[in-house]
Amino acid sequence: IGIIGATVMPHNLYLHSALVQTRRINRSDEGIKASIKYNFIDTVIALNLAFLVNAAILILAAGAFFTNGYFEVAEIQDAYKLLENIFGKTAPVLFAVALIASGQSSTITGTLAGQIIMEGHINLRIEPWLRRLLTRLLAILPAVFTILYFGEGALGDLLILSQVVLSLQLGFAIIPLIHFTSEKAKMGTFAIGPKIKILAWFSAAVIVSLNVKLVIEQITGWISNYPNARIEIYTIVLPLITGVALLLLYVFFKPFLFKRRERPDRVPHGEASSLGDIDEILYKHIAITIDFSKNDRNSIRHGIMQGGKSAHYTLIHVVETAGARYHGTDVMDHETQSDVKNLDKYVADLAKLGYHATAHIGYGLPANAIAKIVNAEKVDFIVMGSHGHKAIKDLIFGTTVNSVRHMVNVPVLVVKPQQK
């Protein structure tokens, strides 16, 4: 059963289908038939390669260990040590490379399948790094828990259990797949015929029956071998298994008993709404953040382009010295005095050009201070200059724009530094 789960991985059924479906293909009947044919070839090759790899592992184990008198080799940590004695020093290295490659393959396919399921079934699109983190945590945490509480020797059993769990999930992947491909209203002329349908349901019945047999034998074994844990088995494990069984029955019978409601196909980012008449937006109070760099002129220029001479401009600068962070408005160190003079100079220059502006000094953390001033002054538009640094420099020097836009409810225009 573990080999079934390792060969016909549930998520790969959806992954192979999605990789073909999302390609730019000819949407005529002939083009779709050709795509289905190549998808079939792709899936058969992939699944058979997985089967052949698993078969090769079994044959290698039998040929390497059994014929040489090693009858008690059951764990990976034992196998790689003995491979050196049988095949030489290169064998353990190749064994390690194969394990790393299989882990990377599982990581890539699992993450891609997760993205397809989340975006296609529940219309949820999240950042790739977060999706990868969640996927890897779901894989790593059980292994860490097993090592901490049961020791390194239990990892072999965990590996087998993971493949068995994949096999247990096959029913939840195959049954909806058969229902979907059998539905003429959805598939049209591409719905599967009676012969394929019979073979598909027979395969699903065999897999589900094997899984049911495995679960019954496993629960019976736990009750017999761990009499002190019967309370946990009856109160936690059995209700959980009952719930899963009821869910599987629901997945199987629902299409037969209830007519499927037509739902519009959606994409994660929604649909375009009607624009109607678009009114001109006039900004009356514009805030411009100042850092006394060469980018200030560009930020001010973009600000007055938005409001013209009819708007009021608030020039904001934040003092970030240690004294400013601690004393706030009570600080008057050398940097604060210099900043006040420089900000007043900008205000005077704008006044000469016919623009009405005022200066406002903030203290402490730039993002918090800017947001506080913007909200207090009832600003309706913000212009912020960007430093243009990325990655490591963001960690060293900090970022302000991203934090400010989460703290205010007005539009924010980010002005990048001019290229030299």
Distance CA 95, CA 85 (A): 14
Listed by start position, the domains of the chain span 2-209, 285-415
Residue 120 CB partners (closer than 8 Å, separation 6+): 18
Question: Strand, helix or coil at 331?
Answer: coil
Distance CA 336, CA 320 (A): 9
Residue type, 341: K
Distance CA 6, CA 3 (A): 5
What is the pLDDT at residue 366?
86
What is the pLDDT at residue 301?
93
Distance CA 36, CA 178 (A): 15
Q: Is 247 left (phi over 0), alpha (psi -120 to 50) or beta?
A: alpha
Task: Provide CATH code, domain 285-415.
Answer: 3.40.50.620
What is the pLDDT at residue 275?
77
Query: What is the mean pLDDT of each successive set of 10 residues along the chain, which is 420 residues long?
Result: 63 72 76 82 77 76 70 63 73 80 76 76 74 79 82 73 73 86 84 90 89 84 80 85 90 82 65 76 92 88 92 92 77 84 94 94 89 92 76 48 87 81
What is the pLDDT at residue 3?
64
Distance CA 36, CA 31 (A): 9
* Strand 412-415, strand 381-385: pairing: parallel
